[in-house]
Amino acid sequence: MKITAERESIELCTEAGWSAYDLLTDEPVGRDLIKRLGTLGNLTYLGMLRQPFFRVESRYYLIKGLEGERQFRVSMLNGEEGILERVRALVSG
């Protein structure tokens, strides 16, 4: 799996004080990737929703997305942009 684009999120106001990026992928986000991303923090997986929702959180960043979509969001406290590199590695990984 590859990241095809990284877009600064237009929803910055919802994550006040944070930066947010939508990472676009060449394949739909599946459970394997969700599990790998889950190693970065506390994973919440809501599998009973029409489209399962996941959230991985730590004090410094938040990753969330919908299973089956070709994108997910990575939000981070300003100065914690290093998480993007770890996420890129897990996606290609």
Partner 1 sequence: MMDPTSKKTVYLNNAATTYPKPETVLRMAEEALANPPQSQYRSSAADTLPYEKLCRRNLARLFGIPGPDRIFLTSGATQALNMAVLGVFRQPDRKRHGLVITQTEHNSVLRTVYDGLAEELSGGRVHVTCVACDANGHVDPEDMRRAVTEDTALVVLNHCSNVTGALQDARAIGKIAHEKGALFLLDVSQSAGCLPVSANELETDLLAFTGHKALFGMQGTGGLYIREGLTLRPVLFGGTGTDSAVLVPEKPFYEVGTANGPGIASLYAGTEYLLNLGIEEVMRQEQRLMKVLYEGLKDIPMVRVYSDRLPEGPLLSFRVRGLRPSDVGYILSGTYQISVRTGLHCSPLIHKALGTEDGGTVRVSISYLTKETDAEYFIGAVREIAAGL
Beta bridge partners of 53: 46, 66
Q: What residues contact 86, with CB distance under 8 A and at least 6 apart?
A: 40
Token readout for 33 is: 């990737």
Q: How far is the CB of 50 from partner 1 (least distance, A)?
A: 5
Residues found near partner 1 in the complex (CB under 8 A): 11, 13-16, 46, 48-51, 53, 55, 64-66, 69, 73
Which is nearer to partner 1, 69 or 89 (by Cβ)?
69
Looking at 10-83, which runs of residues are DSSP E strands?
Answer: 18-25, 42-46, 53-57, 61-66, 71-77
**Nearer to partner 1 among residue 63 and residue 91 (C-beta):** 63
Beta carbon nearer to partner 1, 16 or 93: 16
For the bound state, the minimum distance from the C-beta of residue 37 to partner 1, rounded and expressed in Å, comes to 15
